[in-house]
Amino acid sequence: MSEDEPTVARAAAEFLRHCRAGKNLSRHTLRAYDIDLAEWSAFVGAETPVTACGRDEIRAFLDHLSEGRGLKASSVKRRVACLKAMFKWLEQEEWIGVTPFHRLDLRIKAPQRLPRALSEQEVRTLLAAPAARLGLGHTAAPGPDAAHALARRLDPREWSDFTALVALHTLYATGMRVGELCTVRDQDVDVETGTIPIFGKGSRERRVFVTEAGPCALLAAYRDAVRRLITGTDATPDPEAPFLRTPRGEPANPQYIRLLTRRMARAAGLDRRVTPHMLRHSTATHLLNRGLDLRYVQKLLGHHSISTTEVYTQVTDAHLKDALSRVTGE
């Protein structure tokens, strides 16, 4: 191998650098890419010329993952997708001639699992939990006067409950991912129209909407509360600052919102583990059940392909079958 010939390790490092700088990928995706490429490098050899990696090496790697390590098909597919993206980039950058994935027939069939969604009653119960803890009764969303009164008299010990109330309502109203929610800035939230522009996967921008008066009022009240939390007054904070905050005024991260979601699910008495992503699934399922066109749901969720959204039609079909079974007694 000549000194200038790129190695597997160097190719992986440069691709990861490109992903961090140019693709605006989430930290979760970057961490997964880093782990997957480290495993690939260890398998084929870090100092192996990247030009020596062909179809045979890829097939052997797949055998290693599925047979040697016993990984699930979904985990194998993730690693293949990462490798495929890297070799495509290497081809574009002319590090290699043609990607070894060109016309490579790899069929990894993973069992299709339907998205886990909450029922509409479970969602109402979940949303009512933080409201009840804040002394707002058992209503899911308070009116504008109650929301602003809460923001003015909020005890610091109640901050996490207030953040949970706003986060859960926003997740369910918009169907956004928890990672997207945590990147929303103060200036992004138009509390008058309930419009929030967000950047999703693949740096695709879309707009989501909070259309009900109660959740919109919560957004406005939370913004006021954040300003008093950060500045001690009603002064406007940095518009570039994140919208959701912890009790210390720090940006709320996905792990924090997941923790609040689990806490509220326990408070609501729900007997299963609830995650923020289940609210995204619930939004899609409930909108389709109410008759919203599939294309609108696709746009709301930011799916690149309509086939990704179509999985929710299977959820609604399953609900229909269960309902029919209860009626007919079969």
Instruction: Give the catalytic positions in this structure.
Output: 177, 201, 277, 280, 303, 312
Minimal CA–CA distance to 180: which of 198, 163, 166, 194? 198
Amino acid (one-letter) located at 21: A
Q: Kindly report the number of other CB atoms within 10 A of residue 101's CB atom.
A: 17
User: Which position has the token pair 């409930």?
Assistant: 286
H/E run at residue 205: strand 205-209
| Strand, coil or helix: 106 | coil
Rounded-to-integer distance, Cα 216 and Cα 39, Å: 46
235 phi, psi to nearest 5 deg: -65, 150
Task: List the structure tokens of 320.
Answer: 């229909």
User: Which position has the token pair 């690939």?
Assistant: 40
Q: Kindly report the number of other CB atoms within 10 A of residue 14's CB atom.
A: 17
